Structure 1
Amino acid sequence: MPEDRPTLPPVRLHTDAELARDALAAPLLSRAVRLARWAGPATRVGAGGELIEEQLPAAAAELGLPADEDGAADASEAWRIAVDTGLVDVSEPDEQAEGEEAEYGGASAGEGLPLVTSGGPQDVLAIWQEAFEAVHADATAPVLDDLEDIVGEDGAIDLSALDWDPEAEIEFLDGVLGNLYLLTVSGGGAAAEEPVPLPALAASMIVPDDMGEPTDDVLEQVSEAMMRLDDQFRMFEPLGLVEYRPVDEALLAEESTEEAAVAPPSDEEDVSRYGLVRLTPLGLYGVRARLLEAGVDAPAVGDLADKDADALLDGLARYPEVAARAETEQWLARRGAGDAAVELLAAAKGDDEGAPLRRLHCQQALTLVGAQAEPAVRAVLDDPELGGLARVWLVERGATDVPAPSESMIFWLAIDTIAAQLDAEGEPQELQELVEGLVGRHGGFFEEAWRVEHPATAEVLEAMGRLHADKKLAKEARKAAFKARSRQAP
């Protein structure tokens, strides 16, 4: 994998069967399926495959929609999705025919329609993904308010007359969906409980990270983006991609009387009036598919289940705790407990930079294996890299015949544990408490620690110097780190 390829936290997806049920229940796809079944010999379509205007009332009635402009528009959109996803096949007008047959094309059931009932979940999800792509294209299309300004004398639309950059529009919307996806999976990898305020989502794409108080120009850009996103999320909700609470219509009316854009809320205002959005489980699936297509590394829990233990422990390095446990449980479910324990312990060995974190994840995985891991754990009691881990695991399970570790093993395990925590979490408050507790339990810790034969000794001691609240002990840690580096120098 290229080093510059973006990597996201893993997502916990629902099963294909659950997602397929959600897809078929989404209003837009459900309507498209119903219209595909409704289409027949009498169906007439225009040159672009659209239902002719005279047939829209019947299509709306078939869907139980009101007999007004909104009902006709919704029926027209559902028909277009049916055509774009292959649920319906349309034919062009027959120029050799006479009457209506020469003016209009026909329609019939497409190859995708039988897959809705006889295909598998992946077939349904493929149809839904095509619907997502079609709605995405609509959402990034230009808003044609005044056709007179852009329609030439020959009746063709002059896109150059529009203030519209298709690549920029697509990039912006994909960026918004990517940020929404990241916010969701960073919270544990599954569909988020709390929706994201629309102003925050718009600002995440526009306001520079290093900007303090946004300028009026930036706030105006955020306002314009909010209104564009409001329209787009309204389009995505019937697809089942998002749950969306739109911008308050009363707010829009208030602002329109002042001929101004909707300004982002102040701290005192109810942010929900400005729109709230969250991805559904189906939305997570769909956005992830687009991210993968764009070359983003967007893993899902279960991706490592068929890999070996080396790939599992290396992969878990970037997993949040909840997702790591779920991934490990799936990996273990496909293996015998004893064999899994042997595999995990073998993969945990090493003196490379990632080895301490592999050992930490190995220890956590072994807790899920349970008592059947004990023979494999006891077999590594004398191993210099795994012996300390094995003793901790046995003691935590209540074993009483665990051989006491040597002093060198105690210090090696301490350095290894802190190195793993640094790699996993940086330097949070919990790690500071671990460091201070460790030093407090071992008098003269730093006098011995700098001698530990571990690749991360100097790095760990430097971190302990940053983390320890006692200035005197922090200074001792820094001195010990210098000694360790001098000792390791060629």
Structure 2
Amino acid sequence: MRSYDDDTLPLQPPIRLPGAATLAAAVRAAPLADQVLKDELMAEDGDDTEVLSTWAEHCRESLAADEGLLLELIRMFLSREPLKGDVPETLSGLGLVRQAEPYTLSWLGLWVARQIIAETTGQDIPVMGTLADRDAAALLHGLRSYPEPERGEELAGWLKEREPEAAAAEIAAVLGTVSPLSRAVGVELLSSALGDEGRLALARLLEEPKLGAVIAARTGREERQPAPDEISWVLVDMAAALLEFGGETGEVIDSIAMGMDAEEQAGTIAILAFGDHPWTGRVLRVFIDHHPDEKVVAAARKALRRLHGLADVRS
């Protein structure tokens, strides 16, 4: 998935889709299938992969020609609400909407909308059951938008072929290299979903620079206080996780402000420039663009300039 910026869609929850054979059968049953698919693809023993590829391309072309229909399809996907008013002939003919009330998206509609969103926003919305054979980094990346109980269901599939100790070690090994939100997910899984093996794996990481400080902050390990040079890294990592999820800018600001007055916030913002967290610039930009107090905004601008200057020195 693409990293967060102001125009990026907030992370979307996973969807459920049937397998390729079921989707291809739905394509062949669509009202417009005879006009779009070659005879050999209409046959039950036709190449399902080619059927789906052909249908996806035709749907893209049809929807690109009518922006209103495209936006309605995306609205239905994001809201999970039924179609308002009469069903447009194009959506019905392509099999993207159920043929009876409520006129919600069909399996094909969900499948096509997911592809279009991925192409236009860069966000690869996860499909339930597809993470079981992925590595730990991909698992944490995929689980970022999973609510409960879907997260537990997906995790159970991933754990099925792994021993608890090995699974915990695999997740712990990638915590330092994944994105802030993926890291938050990993810490939560190890602390609450993987038993003693998970908690032991976290404990072994507490003395790691930066990562250990983040783990301590997220799990309430007060005995592991951040060193002075870790404070900015922890603050940015916590705020960046909210930013990555697509949270409100006010939540991002509050995660660092923590009830401080404007002068105290400005002082805290100043130290962020001295850390080397890769998301520091994006977090500072939120303060510059959205903080209501000019004193804090000025401090964020100064910190961003200093960050760029230090980056030049480090390189």
TM over 0.5: yes
Q: Tell me the amino acid that sits aligned with residue 62 of structure 2.
A: F
Q: What CA distance in whole angstroms lies between the structure 2 residues aligned with 1:461 and 1:455?
A: 12
CA contact (8 A) 1:329 1:368 kept: no
Q: Is this contact kept in 2: 1:305–1:331, CA < 8 A?
A: yes
TM-aligned CA deviation for residue 420 of structure 1? 2.9
User: Is the Cα–Cα contact under 8 Å of residues 128 and 154 in structure 2 kept in the other structure?
Assistant: yes
Q: CA deviation at 1:458?
A: 3.4
Give the drift of 1:426.
6.1
What one-letter code is carried by the residue in structure 1 that aligns with 2:103? Answer: V
* Aligned twin of 1:358: 182
Q: Deviations over 1:194-221 (max 9, x none)?
A: 312146x8xxxxxxxxxxxxxxxxxxxx
Q: Which amino acid aligns with 1:388?
A: A
- In the other structure, the counterpart of 2:226 is 405
CA deviations on 1:121-165 (whole Å, 9 max, x unpaired) are x7xx84784354233326969xxxxxxxxxxxxxxxxxxxxxxxx
> RMSD over aligned Cα, in angstroms?
4.3
Q: What is the Cα deviation at residue 455 of structure 1?
A: 3.0
The structure-2 alpha-carbon separation of the partners of 1:421 and 1:236, relative to structure 1 and needing over 3 Å to count, comes to: closer
Q: Contact conserved, 1:435 with 1:468, CA < 8 A, in 2?
A: no
For 1:347 and 1:362, how far apart are their aligned partners in 2? 9
Cα distance in 1 for partners of 2:224, 2:104 equals: 53
Residue number among 217, 242, 264 corresponding to 1:421 in the alignment: 242
Residue identity matched to 1:381 = L
Shift of residue 387 of structure 1? Answer: 0.6
Report if aligned partners of 1:337, 1:369 keep a CA contact under 8 Å in 2: no
Equivalent position SS for 1:277: coil
How much does 1:308 deviate? 0.8
In the aligned structure 2, how far is the partner of 1:460 from the partner of 1:170?
36
Instruction: Answer whether contact 1:439 1:445 (CA < 8 A) is retained.
Output: no
Structure 1 residue 432 corresponds to structure 2 residue 253: yes
* Cα distance change, pair 382–305 in 1 and its aligned pair in 2 (3 A): same
1:452 aligns with 2:308: no
C-alpha contact (below 8 Å) 1:306/1:331 kept by paired residues = yes
Q: How does 1:182-331 map to 2 (within 5 A)?
A: 182-183=74-75, 185-187=77-79, 192=80, 194-198=81-85, 226=88, 228=89, 232=92, 242=98, 244-245=100-101, 277-279=103-105, 283-284=106-107, 286-287=108-109, 299-316=126-143, 319=145, 321=147, 327-331=154-158
- Alpha-carbon deviation of 1:447? 3.5
Structure 2 unpaired stretches of 5+ = 2-8, 37-56
Aligned residues: 274
Q: Which one has a bigger Cα radius of gyration?
A: 1
Structure 1, unaligned runs of 5 or more: 2-6, 17-121, 142-166, 202-225, 246-275
Structure 2 residue corresponding to 1:381, chosen from 198, 206, 209: 206
- The one of 338, 346, 356 aligned to 2:165: 338
The alignment's TM-score, normalised by the length of structure 1, stands at 0.46
C-alpha spacing 1:173/1:406, structure 2 compared with 1 (3 Å): closer
CA distance in 2, matches of 1:392, 1:326: 27
1:457 & 1:195 partners in 2: Cα distance?
A: 41
**Cα distance change, pair 184–340 in 1 and its aligned pair in 2 (3 A):** farther
Shift of 1:404: 2.5
Q: Which SS does the other structure have where 1:12 is aligned?
A: coil
Q: 1:277 to 1:359 in 2, by over 3 A?
A: same
Q: 3-state DSSP class of the match of 2:214?
A: helix
Instruction: Name the SS for the 1:195 alignment partner.
Output: coil
**Separation of aligned partners in 1, 2:74 and 2:155:** 22
How far did residue 316 of structure 1 move? 4.1
Change over 3 Å in CA distance of 1:13–1:447 after alignment to 2 = closer
State the match for 2:193 in structure 1. Answer: 369
Which whole-Å deviations, capped at 9, do the CAs of 1:372-428 have from their partners, x for residues lacking one? 211111101111132123213432xxx67x332223223210012223322331653
- Counting aligned pairs with the same residue, the percent is 24
Contact 2:270 2:302 in 1 (8 A): no
Alignment counterpart, residue 15 of structure 2, candidates 12, 23, 31: 12
Cα displacement (A) at 1:445: 1.0
2:46 maps to none
